[in-house]
Amino acid sequence: MSYNIAVMPGDGTGPEVVAEGLKVLKAAAERAGFSYDLNTYDFGGERYLRTGETLPDTAIPELAAHDAIFLGAIGHPEVKPGILELGILLKARFALDLYINLRPVKLFPGVETPIKDKGPAEIDFVVVRENTEGLYASTGGYLKKGTPDEVAVQESINTRKGVERCIRYAFDYAGRKDRRGQLTLVGKTNVLTYAWDLWWRAFNEIGDADFPAIKREYAHVDATCMWFVKNPEWFDVIVTDNMFGDIITDLGAMIQGGMGVAAGGNIHPGKIGMFEPIGGSAPKYMGQNVINPLAAIGAVQMMLDYLGETQAALWIEQGIIHAVSKMDSLSAGQMGMGTTDVGDLVAGLVANA
Ligand code: IPM
Ligand code: MN
C-alpha cells in the first residue's frame, strides 16, 4: 500500500512535534511494509502574517486529494484569537466535511491521572464528537448591534443527516474488536428539547434497526462531567454534538494525563482524515526541544489505524507506552529527556517490534 499524506506543521511547537511524528511514521512504514508520499503545507500564523492568507480556497481540493492530513498546531501569539482557528482548523473541518471528531481518552500505564484510585483499567473510552454542525455551524446574527437593545443569536444546527451519520459511525466504532460494545449518547434532553429529541430518536431508531448487539446508554452532559471524574469506567464509546464534545474532551484529556498525550482525528470516513495533537502551539516552549511529542505520535497512530494499517498503529501504541515508562513526566520541560529523545524511543521500539 502507498499513501498520500499532507503535512501541516503549523505554528509554535507544531513543527517540532510533527518531526517526531514523521520519524515514527517512517519507522512504522519500514517495519510494516507500506510506503507514503508527503506534501508539506505552510498554513499557519507565519504565513498569515506574511500574506494575509489563512487556508485559501484553492488549497481545499489539493488537500482533499490526499488520503490523510497530519496537522501540528495552529495558533500564533501575534495573531488575534479566532482568525487562525476559524480560518484554518474549522475551515478544513467544514470544507472537507470532516464530520467525525474522534478523541480517545486512554490512560497509559505509569501515567499520572488527577483521578484518585483510577488507573488504565478504568480510564479507557472514546468520544465521537459531531464535527460540522451544532453551535459551530456559524448561523445566527445580531439585532440592534452596539445598542443597549442588542440581541445576539447563535443557533445550534442539527440535521437528521448530520446526526445520523455521526451516530452510525459511533455504533460501528462501539462494535470494533477493541471496544466493549457500549455506546452512550451524551446530550441534554431535559432542557434542549428540540435538538436532543432529534438525537435521541435517531440514536434509538438506528440502534434498534441496525445495531441490536450494541448496548445503548444515555447521560446528560453535565452528569457526564461528573462521571468522568467519579466513574470513568462507565464509558466505552460516547457520541455527542460538536459543542459538548469540545468541552468534555478537554476534561477527558486531563484525566488521561494531559495535553501532552491527547490526540484526535477529524474524519470523513472513507474519504480523508486530519489527525492532530489536541493541545495548542505552546509558543513559549518553541525551539527548546522540551515539548512532549507523544500526542503528535498518537495522532500518527490514529492516522495509521484510520488508513487500515492496524498492526502498525498497535506497534506505535506499544512504543508510546514504552516511552512513557522511561519519562519522568509528560509535561513540557519535565520529561527528563528532550523532544527528539522521545521520538527516538518510540521509533526505536516500532523498528524492532
Ligand atoms: C478543538 C479546539 C477547537 C474547537 C478550536 C481551536 C477552534 O478547541 O479542536 O477542540 O473548538 O473545536
Ligand atoms: Mn477544544
> pLDDT value at position 318?
97
> pLDDT value at position 103?
98
- C-alpha cell at position 43: 498554513
- Hey, whose CA ends up nearest to atom 8 of ligand 1? 246
Atom of ligand 1 nearest to the CA of 131: 12
Cα angle 85, 87, 91 (rounded to 5 degrees) comes to 95
> pLDDT value at position 259?
86
Q: Which residue, chain included where needed, has cell 485559501? A: 56
Please state the separation of Cα 339 from the chain's center in Å.
21
Q: Which residue, chain included where needed, has cell 440535521? A: 159
The per-residue pLDDT for range 189-238, each reduced to its tens digit, is 999 999 999 999 999 999 999 999 999 999 999 999 999 999 999 999 99
Atom of ligand 1 nearest to the CA of 86: 7
Residues with CB under 5 A from ligand 2 (ion): 246
Atom of ligand 1 nearest to the CA of 89: 7
Quick one: which ligand is closest to 73's CA?
1
Give the list of residues 6+ apart from residue 176 with CB closer than 8 angstroms, or none.
none
> pLDDT value at position 108?
95
**DSSP bridge pairs for 268:** 272
Pairing mode of beta strands 182-187, 237-240: parallel
Atom of ligand 1 nearest to the CA of 249: 10
Residues of the chain short of pLDDT 70, as ranges, are none
Q: Residue 341 and residue 20: Cα distance in Å, rounded?
A: 9
Q: Residue 236 and residue 126: Cα distance in Å, rounded?
A: 6
> Distance, CA 246 to ligand 1 centroid (Å)?
7
Which 3 state secondary structure label does DSSP give 146?
Answer: coil
Is 352 buried (19+), middle (13-18) or exposed (0-12) by CB count in 10 A? exposed
Task: Tell me which residues have their CB closer than 6 angstroms to ligand 1.
Answer: 85, 89-90, 246, 278
> pLDDT value at position 73?
96
Which 3 state secondary structure label does DSSP give 269?
Answer: coil
* Residue among 71, 80, 89, 91 whose CB has most ligand 1 atoms within 8 A, to mutate: 89
**DSSP bridge pairs for 103:** 127
Helix (H) or strand (E) holding 28: helix 14-32
* Residue among 11, 71, 76, 90 whose CB has most ligand 1 atoms within 8 A, to mutate: 90
> Distance, CA 247 to ligand 2 centroid (Å)?
6
5 near 37, Cβ under 8 Å? yes
Q: Residue 241 and residue 127: Cα distance in Å, rounded?
A: 10
Q: On the CB side of 303, how many CA atoms lie within 13 Å of its CA?
A: 31
Pairing mode of beta strands 100-106, 263-268: antiparallel
